[in-house]
Amino acid sequence: MLKRPPHNHLYAITECQELSEPTLLSVSESILAGGCQLLQYRDKSDDSPKRQAQASHLQTLCRAVGAQLIINDDIALACEVGAAGVHLGQSDASPAQAREMLGPDAIIGVTCHDDLNLAQEALTQGANYIAFGRFYASSTKPGAPPAPLKLLQEARSRWPQAVIVAIGGLNLDNAPEVISQGADYTAMCHSVYHHPQPQQYAEQFDHRYFHSPDARSVS
């Protein structure tokens, strides 16, 4: 279970395209050492052996510090490595299908872009968190449609107990803005994986540095 307010607002997403495997794992370990409790393995390649090996290594690192590993898109891989859950896009399997495969305790997140109706559908189907974005220019998804910050306020007002993730162009400078608007977690890829001091960077997302509402949880 991920309790909210989280000890750390950072939701780290692996940078797999530009980093060697040793560097990917080393940086991930540093990010986790900095207090990150939620890490997503995102690799869009079709190299199944590599993906299985990397996800297994990351699961070991997460388990060692009590963090949760989320697998992007691939429910079968999440099952294979015993990950905490899966993150689904709109073209992937439904939250209900993921729940059937992963079980009642899995964490299931869904990308909802800038659409509250998609968020309602995801929650109705049992998603544990809803993700909105992009809120800023993103190197990971440069073509994604922009989402207004007020969307986070609207989502928080509509679903006071929901766990909300902000995605897209986030870094330490703009993270306080999306958190103040209602986000619980700030999903980041390039800004944390390419930082010269990833552990220290992750440490700065400690909840004590942010003002956020009282506890909600992902279970």
Q: What is the pLDDT of residues 184-207, one digit of tens each?
A: 999 999 999 999 999 999 999 998
Q: What is the pTM of this model?
A: 0.93
Domain regions of the chain by residue span: 12-207
Q: What is the pLDDT of residues 68-82, one digit of tens each?
A: 999 999 999 999 999
Q: What is the pLDDT of residues 138-161, one digit of tens each?
A: 777 677 778 999 999 999 999 999
| Burial class of 127 by CB neighbour count within 10 A (0 to 12, 13 to 18, 19+) | buried
- Annotation-wise, does 214 bind a ligand? no
- Annotation-wise, does 141 bind a ligand? yes
Residue 67 in tokens: 């963090």
CATH superfamily of 12-207: Aldolase class I (3.20.20.70)
- Annotation-wise, does 97 bind a ligand? no
- Annotation-wise, does 45 bind a ligand? no
